[in-house]
Amino acid sequence: MLTQNVQLENKTILVTGAAGFIGANLVTELMHTVPTVTIVGLDNMNAYYDVAIKDYRLAEIERLAEEKTGIRWEFVKGDLAEAALIDRLFAEYKFDVVVNLAAQAGVRYSITNPDAYIQSNLIGFYNILEACRRYPVEHLVYASSSSVYGTNKKVPYATEDKVDNPVSLYAATKKSNELMAHAYSKLYNIPSTGLRFFTVYGPAGRPDIAYFGFTNKLLKGETIEIFNYGNCKRDFTYVDDIVEGVKRVMQCAPEKQTGEDGLPIPPYRVYNIGNSSPENLLDFVDILQQELIRAGVLPSDYDFEAHKKLVPMQAGDVPVTYADTSALEADFGFKPSTDLRTGLRRFAEWYKAFYQV
């Protein structure tokens, strides 16, 4: 077990992508568990998916911030790719901890809109690294992705595995983030930790993720397409488990050390955060429709079989994701554990309330 060396109380924390799925959940978790803290949230509020969901998440944060007396919350609408903005924020707030969750997400979108990935995931992350160099921080934590493993045949995926064969531009940008962070850790002694997230799901999630898109289509009576003829397996990880992992990692920065050459040994780590129990996509969709019926989103006599279609693999997709979380368990005593039915039940109940089905 690692010893906590970063106290979050009375600190100033930057969370980029604060209106995003993981970002908003992290902000609310910090507000619930850190009595006195300043949190600055940055998000460009782009229309990659329904902005109403981002507005809903921000409204929840604002409501919570008003309830908590020791919490200072500032939201900045702006783009990670704007170097002058990032520099100004770091100069003004002197952040102690930075959690970079802002990114252009999605594998398929990267095929049709590559520019968005270069701007956000490469230039944006470079701006964060440069700011951490100029205004030193105690710890930089950033989102990587399980997609860096590409089509690796060895499962479960371990952080020691080679990840040199990305099958999408999105995956390539995430691998690039890890390389850039390692270089800056070595050159400027910036403690950084990368987190490879595995298929995150839950209430108020991203509508471009399968479970959310499937729900929208089923509700409209449309047919859902299940790729690789239903033979895909995904390591679905509930958002609360992801956030708990992020919060624990934030408090344990890699130690600064000097090598025999008198230069810094990079204070750098990478972890997987996943459920370590891949689910077949057909089983996943079956549980989803059961929970949608239970929540009253779909009628009890819904003919699920008539609304599904098995189709081939899509470009950029991989057949399986499966996290080896032994390093996370050893260092933090934590392993994601929310089962799929529990997570999808919470999503279905949220969906019914949010869309007033």
The first and second tokens of residue 5, run together, are 């060396």
**Helices of type H across 203-269:** 210-219, 239-250
Concatenate the DSSP letters of all residues of 260-271 into one string: TTSSEEP-EEEE
Cis peptide before 319 (omega within 30 of 0): no
The first and second tokens of residue 182, run together, are 């390692």
Task: Burial-class residue 355 by CB neighbours within 10 Å (0-12, 13-18, 19+).
Answer: exposed
Largest interatomic CA distance in the chain: 71
On the CB side of 310, CA atoms within 13 Å amount to 8
Concatenate the DSSP letters of all residues of 309-333 into one string: EE-PPPTT--SB--B--HHHHHHHS
E strand or H helix at 149, and its extent?
Answer: none
Helix (H, G, I), strand (E, B) or coil at 183: helix
In the annotation, is 268 catalytic? no
**Pair 146, 199: CB distance under 8 Å:** yes
What is the torsional sign of CA 40, 212, 315, 278?
Answer: positive
Q: Do the strands 237-238 and 200-201 form a parallel or antiparallel pair, or are they unpaired?
A: parallel
The first and second tokens of residue 240, run together, are 């609360």
The closest alpha carbon to 72, from 96, 105, 20, 37, belongs to 37
Catalytic residue from among 109, 126, 142, 170: 170
Question: ∠ CA 165-171-174 to the nearest 5 degrees?
Answer: 115
- Quote the CA–CA distance of 127 and 143 in Å, as a whole number: 15
Q: What are the catalytic residues?
A: 170
